[in-house]
Structure 1
Amino acid sequence: MQIFTEMGWVLYLVIFSFILLIKKDTRRLGLVLLLSIIIGSMISAYLRCYIGYEVPTLKFVGSNIPIISAPDIGVPCTIDGSFPAGHTVRTTIFAFIVGFALSKRFPRGCHLLWIYPILVSISRVYLLQQFPMDLVGGALLGLIVANIASRILKLDLIFVKSKT
């Protein structure tokens, strides 16, 4: 379960976005994904900083699961809260934007991307890192950020062929 939790780390998604930015055909998709992940992570970090909803203090009995959580950068305060869940925000943004990009080519298969945020979210609860309400808040924030960013940055233009 720990591997699913670590798959929601911001660095993996940023590297994937940069790979999309390098290729000319997917440059707009990479830009929208990168900006959405950065904006979503920053909003999530600020909300966690100021809401102050506490992290679960429960521990596993009989086993030690080392989870290394790196602090979010760019936030002027210490982040002790857990609402909304940053991993869920980022993976929801990823599933929304990449799923939209794949929707024309794979109309039924693009929904399989939603398994990714579900697995990350379930693993966060299973490993006692977040409460279920943190995940609901993170998913809603991720959907809002991805929707607004894809509209402002005109993500639907990825389906239009350029004449140049």
Structure 2
Amino acid sequence: MIDQLIALDQEAFLAINQGLSNVFFDWLMPILRNPFTWAPLYLFIVIFCIKNYKKTGVLIVLFILITFGIADQLSSSVIKKSVKRVRPCNDIEFKEEINLRVRCSGGYSFTSSHATNHFAMAMVMIMIFYKRWKHILWLGLLWAALVSIAQVYVGVHYPLDIVAGALLGSLIGCVTGLAFRFISPNLTPVTHTS
């Protein structure tokens, strides 16, 4: 059963890593997975929250940071070190079949921390803002999915690493989002008076 799952995961990996291969994705996917690409978005979120929600905005930013911290620690320090799955780009029997498009990290593969972290942050923001801004649902999930799928395309994660990371991150984001709703049930922007 495990061997069949691994074989299916490798087939899905090759379908993305090789099957979707094209010049545009070769350029785009390494950019999408780079944290510096998203730095302006992170800065916008911080400024937007504090400007529009004042003290509650600081609390929102704090909850996003807490969510990120929990997700990153669970994925990187607990699950990866327990499962110890070798990355596709480091797998001696498999790496010759891979189109590696970024430097291959020496760390473990399962779960993808990129997927865990981004789905966690997306989900906590969805939980916080959905009642006021419905578009955050598809925008948040699309953002997390693009970052995650890029990990497979560039050759550093298997699809199962991404799926598990997405599920773990979503669960963490839901829990911290519910905690935020409990602490601050009525999220309304501060009105500016002139």
Q: 2: CA distance between counterparts of 1:12 and 1:158?
A: 28
CA shift in 2, pair 1:29/1:155, >3 Å: farther
The answer (yes or no) to whether the contact 1:89–1:138 under 8 Å persists in 2 is yes
CA shift in 2, pair 1:64/1:143, >3 Å: closer
* Residue 2 (structure 1) aligns with: 30
* Residue 131 (structure 2) aligns with: 104
* Residue 81 (structure 1) aligns with: 108
Describe how 1:40-59 pairs up with structure 2 within 5 A: 40-46=71-77, 47-57=79-89, 58=95
Letter in 1 for 2:67: S
TM-score, length-scaled by structure 1: 0.74
Superposed CA deviations along residues 24-73 of structure 1, whole A, max 9, x for unmatched, are: 24122111111010111001012111210110033677x8734375xxxx
Question: Following TM superposition, by how much is the alpha carbon of 1:102 offset from its aligned partner in structure 2, in angstroms?
Answer: 2.9
Q: Which runs of 5+ in 2 are unaligned?
A: 1-28, 90-94, 190-194
TM-score, length-scaled by structure 2: 0.64
The answer (yes or no) to whether the contact 1:28–1:155 under 8 Å persists in 2 is no
* Residue 66 (structure 2) aligns with: 35
Q: 1: CA distance between counterparts of 2:174 and 2:36?
A: 19
More helix, by proportion: 2
Q: After the TM superposition, list the runs of 4 or more consecutive aligned residues in structure 1 that deviate by more than 4 angstroms.
A: 8-23
Describe how 1:3-152 pairs up with structure 2 within 5 A: 3-7=31-35, 19=47, 22-23=50-51, 24=54, 25-46=56-77, 47-57=79-89, 58=95, 65-67=101-103, 80-108=107-135, 110-152=137-179
The answer (yes or no) to whether the contact 1:59–1:128 under 8 Å persists in 2 is no
Query: How many residues matched?
Result: 153
The answer (yes or no) to whether the contact 1:9–1:87 under 8 Å persists in 2 is no
Superposed CA deviations along residues 89-137 of structure 1, whole A, max 9, x for unmatched, are: 1110121122233322322453222111111111111111100000011
Question: Following TM superposition, by how much is the alpha carbon of 1:152 offset from its aligned partner in structure 2, in angstroms?
Answer: 3.0
Q: 2: CA distance between counterparts of 1:131 and 1:108?
A: 29
CA shift in 2, pair 1:160/1:66, >3 Å: closer
The answer (yes or no) to whether the contact 1:88–1:117 under 8 Å persists in 2 is yes
The answer (yes or no) to whether the contact 2:71–2:117 under 8 Å persists in 1 is yes
Identical pairs, percent? 23
CA shift in 2, pair 1:49/1:64, >3 Å: closer
Q: 2: CA distance between counterparts of 1:161 and 1:106?
A: 11
Q: 2: CA distance between counterparts of 1:126 and 1:143?
A: 22
